A and B are shown apart, each in its own frame.
Chain A
Amino acid sequence: MTTLDPTVEGALPETEAAGRGNHPPGTFRVCATTGLTVDLAAEKFIKINAVFAVVFLLLGGIAALLLALTRWSAVHLLNAEWYYRMTTFHGLNMLILWILFMEIGILYFAATALLKSRLASVKAGWAGFACMAVGAIMLDAVILAGKADVMMTSYVPLRAHPTFYLAIILVAVGTLIGVINFLATVYIAKRDKTYSGSVPLVVFGAITAAIIAVSTLLHGAGIMIPTFLWSIDVIDHVDPAAYRLVWWGLGHQSQQVNVAAMVSVWYLLGTLTVGAKVLNQGVSRTAFLLYILFINLASAHHLLVDPGVSAGWKIWNTSYAMYLAVLASMIHGYTVPAAVEVALRKQGHTKGLFGWLGAAPWKNPGFSGFFLSLLIFGFIGGITGVTLGTEQINIIAHNTLRIPGHFHATVVGGTSLAFMALAYYVVPLIFRREFPLRWMCRAQPYVFAAGIVLMSLGMSFAGSYGVSRRSWDVEASGALHPVSYDPSVHVWLGVLGIGGSLAFVGLLMFVVPTVLAVFFGKRVEAKMPAW
């Protein structure tokens, strides 16, 4: 565990009543477990963002279960109308709401606790949160009211109620305010010299995420504002090809925000769980830099089978740029487990090539969640992603179930699982509540990971036979010209259904102990109980 270096604080007084660094008196506490200074205003925002995130995770998770039980052709639960409605609802709640609320919490934590700074603006914090919360509630309401069955991508000229676009704009504006508040906090920390030298690696990763987020949100504004104006008949046309080009500057880059945030969480959890030390700061930071430089160009792989952009444009943008962003992930995929290995070997676990891995704290859900996230993201998400982003393979995979098979491994098995693992430390350290049902917490990452892996494989294999990603009825019954697949697709759709249901159980095993801990958990008075 880290200890405070008194020289950093210089001559400033050290007690909570007297203030510290740029914290006015009475606005911070010192964490008994980590020794970090926790800004009380930032702590409040971390809490409310985390609570909202978990609420949307649960809503999106219920939708996920219904969808899995509908795609499982032997069950086929929902009717067509509600299947498409729930697909829209699930995508936005999971990919936008759960993840964005969580990320704002992570940014506020990184800038205040790790840089020992106060939050730049409490007012901006509230303004951003209010925009996001109001937008999120509007968004869910308009979808459930049946006025926006347009999928998360809402490709024009398919049209939703104007409230839908307005709600997304509000969420984006709120997030942008949060991101700017984070960057302002990094600035005042530097100005007030609350830390010395370079920012810690986790903060560097968070800054990476924030920079990509600004670019992402500007793309979002660039396309959602004209689309909103079109939906209220102020402008009469939004070009569908231009929409796809700019929308994916939002849709794909937002996933890179997730990757940068997730990798930062890996480094953070490596430190918190086993005391991992970064091998080479320069290497890890350069890898983050590659994300910023190259990832937006790689958004082009969403347009590989589109009319309107040339083959040369597609190949140029998806080849060198995407692979340099992939290189970044390949580097983190080495440096993160290597840091864990070095730490465990130093603790005496030196037997054989993999003795350190066996000796790792697998009963600590903070560790198992983080390490499973690393494995699923790298091996399933990464390999499928690089494959699908190739021009020729994209022709056989575009809009089939192979696509969600890929991104459930990256965003759910990777990002969501890493964020869940983080929660096993956020609740005792920030909410200062003990987890009940600790056996359930210990098992949760395994159950959730197994479910997601099964579901992802079921999707990928069904998709490789051409099963469409957003189709209510794989048999196309009642269609003018019948469609039939290899019968084995039903086996894979069954695997999808079983995996999805198992993952939902894993999700409940996360939500139930977390909610119980936050609202009824035993107060953590001094150090958090070790996992």
Chain B
Amino acid sequence: MFVILGDDGILFSLKMSNFFQIIKKEKIAPNGFLFRIKAPEVALHAKPGQFFVLRVNERGERIPLTLVRWNRRSGTIDFAFQVIGKTTHLLSKLKEGDFLKDVLGPLGRPSEIKYYGTVALLAGGFGAAAMLPIANALKEAGNNLVTILGARSKDYLILEKELRRLSSKIYVMTDDGSYGIKGFVKDGLEMASREYDIAHAYVIGPAIMMKFTVAACQELGIPNTVSLNPIMVDATGMCGSCRVNVGGKTYFACVDGPEFDGSQVDWNLLLNRLSAYLNEEKHSYELFLKKKGVLPRGKEKKA
């Protein structure tokens, strides 16, 4: 038993089993990590396409991250994240053996896995992590996989080996041409579509990448599924923070998604809503970095 002093000075006692220990930490890109944590209940029910929510500490934000791998027997889950703000920064500073404050999952509707024929997997940046379990399941369902993996440069490519193993062909795209082919994921798609008769595409990555890649799919007449990543709070359908517009209707991505028909998504709305707290987040992050001595004092901008 642990005893923790709550914010209001009232003692809390917690059982060990309520803690979520970090078993493994691996740096997989200059800006990102892969973690393996103990979360037996999440591992027990996880399915491809689902995510979970974590909190780093008592004052922390709830952030959603996609489930990459899970092991029922050892009760662990894997996830990959890139450092972009305060919470992911704090997360990146945790070490093997440390504990996360809260872990809730699995959440969201699992992917609808079926046989399509040839499926194109279009992954941008850390979208590759979210793609991996879906790729496994699609492969198991008998699909032929063609993967197009994109990143800004060689160092930022993640899970290439794992995805390569599942695919009959992989196109690696880098923005700067430091590895593979110079270009974006949508350029890779155009190449692939000349070689393969693509029945369906999965598109996962930053919203802006999904927007343009889906447009390319539409031009080529390829039906597609995307995994949306709006800002979430509870992630259980209670608040409406994650609302997205698909086919003219409002959905809550955390319970109705995160996967939707990409051609129906209102991308501009998603992009607008994703940047809603940009100033606040920047302010919070800079204040935090300044306190840590990473940024010189007095340089941060007011929110």
Mutual binders A and B: no
Spell out A's residues near B (CB within 8 Å): none
> Chain B interface (Cβ within 8 Å of chain A)?
none
